[in-house]
Amino acid sequence: MAKKKNELWEWTKALVIAVLLAAVIRYFLFAPIVVDGLSMMPTLHDQDRMIVNKFSYKIGEPERFDIIVFHAPENKDYIKRVIGLPGDKIEYKDDTLYVNGKAYDEPYLDEYKKQVIDGPLTEPFTLKEMIGQETVPEGHLFVMGDNRRFSKDSRHIGPVPMEEVLGDAGVIYWPIEDIRIVD
């Protein structure tokens, strides 16, 4: 009888530890997210399942062109690409990104740029026109979807406060044929 109680206690402890460990991993380190919509095409597809690294920005800062997940104003989580960091001056001209006056190549847009026949993929703008400021405010990021014509991003909702960023979304784990690390 004592042996059965001891075995039950050991199983209970193992189960409690497993649940606590899963909760810590899920809420503090990594979390799954489902891509909802076409705003990150062709890089990400609707219903792709990804892992969000919540820990990455606790020990470091986002970098330009990272794909991040953040809480949007509509009480929904968005997934977008970081275009501007705090203090950056952002401008689009002739379908080219300029950050602080320097042109940047965006190879992840090449596929869509080839398909567009009725104007630029990304309409020209300056940060001043979009948010009323010359530079991305301190503690904020300027983000855009890769599907520039069909993305609700910082051009519409404004810069994203760093405290709203959940983490870096760099791994697709489903569907199986699309498993990869995303640039």
Per residue in 49-67, pLDDT tens? Answer: 999 988 888 888 999 999 9
Domain boundaries, the chain: 32-181
On whether the CB atoms of residues 113 and 121 are closer than 8 A, the answer is yes
Q: Which of 3, 4, 5, 39 is catalytic?
A: 39
Q: Model confidence over 74-122: pLDDT tens digits? A: 888 999 999 999 999 999 999 999 999 999 999 989 888 888 888 888 9
Q: Which of 3, 5, 58, 80 is catalytic?
A: 80
Q: What distances in angstroms separate CA 5 from CA 1, 9, 17, 89, one per listed residue?
A: 6, 6, 18, 67
Which H/E stretch holds residue 123?
A: none
3.30.1490.20, 2.10.109.10, 3.40.47.10, 1.20.1370.20: CATH of 32-181: 2.10.109.10
User: Does 39 participate in catalysis according to the annotation?
Assistant: yes
Record the pTM: 0.84
User: Does 114 participate in catalysis according to the annotation?
Assistant: no
Residue linked to tokens 């760099």: 170
